[in-house]
Structure 1
């Protein structure tokens, strides 16, 4: 089912990276879920999935996107301005949510969030709810990108880390060196141990839940490292410690 949404605000993080706030009623949803945006382009509807960045309870949704030069939809979305219309699928869906994680003894004490690029979106929504702070002793977000200007919402996350001792934010970039940021791919940082060192805690099957969202290469390589540490995929029929969502 589709509803017509109206763009009410936009933020440009870099030349191609942008966020849109869209006034639309998508009904109840869980932090971490996604919708689809669609536009009529050259006599056909083109639709793509985008995570909802803001937590439930708002009268709008916010999405983070990057304009891919040869993309079918993202260049058109990049042109949208406040007042423009865009189609939004309802209801939201997706399983990268906290209610998919085990509870009780199987939950562990620490929540790790590993994201690349725009796939940080689900974690932004989750962090803006009360649940992760109530369930976990420590939360670590590792946010990977090529360059620092591709780290959307970085200032917000840095402020959150400053205000909440429970939260550790580790930005990781690969094509430049910046003070206070890791210089590595996420899987490499897991392999070397620098991510755990900077977080001040170790990843283990006993203490950790790890949620991964991003490009398939990051997810594949990170799962290899996590599996070597004794973690296993989280399934409803067989609870584990690794929950994933690929972004393409």
Structure 2
């Protein structure tokens, strides 16, 4: 188990019957860029059972936070959802991932597009002062099926707006846009449709998609990611990586089990 840090669970919050978040201690040697993920999990029968989880906490925080789905028969999440304060989790020593601002060509507006627990890396990124320095405007879009599933993101943004450091930054630069597909809500629709129809931009009072100024990060369901990738590439946007920055980046590590 030398490849992992053993961390103690500090708190667990069950948001719905399918979503929960938890905070744990953080080894001082564990370093990461905001937006990255690590392999985390539990020791089961003497062996590590792991999945990739994005850090929802920022790299300047003393604790680690993760946002997870619950899957009744999922090998890991069926067990992870039962953790309590004082339990031990495993956290891989190395963080990685593509959702880093340096993987994008410089631009003026950053679109953070997420569904479900794909919000997690953006919870980290919107607590990064450097991201606010790089962009004039940051639009955080969170798509869910039901209104109750938005609770984690809504509380996150509300707390940041009250924060002494981040409050002014959010007021000046962050637009939070939650949307649902299966219930009445002020914003309705799938992210792809909201961008294609320009409804998203009309709702927030900003210009439509522009390859010259817009940079995009995406994390969520595989279907959503592929649909958005095709849409952006059809408009001339290029995918970025650590080797060559582009107009958009995608996080493919997404916990569904």
TM-score, normalising length: structure 1: 0.91
Select 1:172's aligned residue among 140, 162, 179. 179
Structure 1 unaligned spans of 5+: none
> Is the CA contact 1:140–1:169 (under 8 Å) kept in the aligned structure 2?
yes
Partners of 1:235 and 1:6 in 2: CA distance = 33
Q: 1:232 to 1:69 in 2, by over 3 A?
A: same
Alignment partner of 1:198 is 2:165: no
Q: 1:88 to 1:169 in 2, by over 3 A?
A: same
Alignment partner of 1:245 is 2:218: no
Q: 1:150 to 1:176 in 2, by over 3 A?
A: same
Alignment partner of 1:228 is 2:231: no
Q: 1:142 to 1:238 in 2, by over 3 A?
A: same
Aligned ranges 1:33-182 → 2 under 5 Å: 33-42=36-45, 44-102=47-105, 107-151=106-150, 152-158=152-158, 164-179=171-186, 182=187
Q: 1:158 to 1:185 in 2, by over 3 A?
A: farther
Bigger drift between 91-100 and 134-143 goes to 91-100
> Is the CA contact 2:42–2:90 (under 8 Å) kept in the aligned structure 1?
yes
> Is the CA contact 2:98–2:242 (under 8 Å) kept in the aligned structure 1?
no
Alignment partner of 1:183 is 2:185: no
Partners of 2:48 and 2:179 in 1: CA distance = 36
TM-score, normalising length: structure 2: 0.88
Structure 2 unaligned spans of 5+: 162-166
More RCO (CA 8 Å, sep 6+): 2
Partners of 1:191 and 1:55 in 2: CA distance = 32
Partners of 1:192 and 1:158 in 2: CA distance = 28
What is the CA deviation profile of residues 44-71 of structure 1, one whole-angstrom value per residue up to 9, with x for unaligned ones? Answer: 4311111111111223210000111120
- How much does 1:226 deviate? 1.9
Bigger drift between 39-48 and 212-221 goes to 39-48
Partners of 1:49 and 1:210 in 2: CA distance = 21
Q: 1:160 to 1:60 in 2, by over 3 A?
A: closer
Consecutive aligned runs of 4 or more in structure 1 exceeding 3 Å deviation? 158-163, 235-239
Bigger drift between 55-64 and 40-49 goes to 40-49
> Is the CA contact 1:203–1:229 (under 8 Å) kept in the aligned structure 2?
no
Q: Secondary structure at the match of 2:196?
A: helix
Q: 1:158 to 1:92 in 2, by over 3 A?
A: same
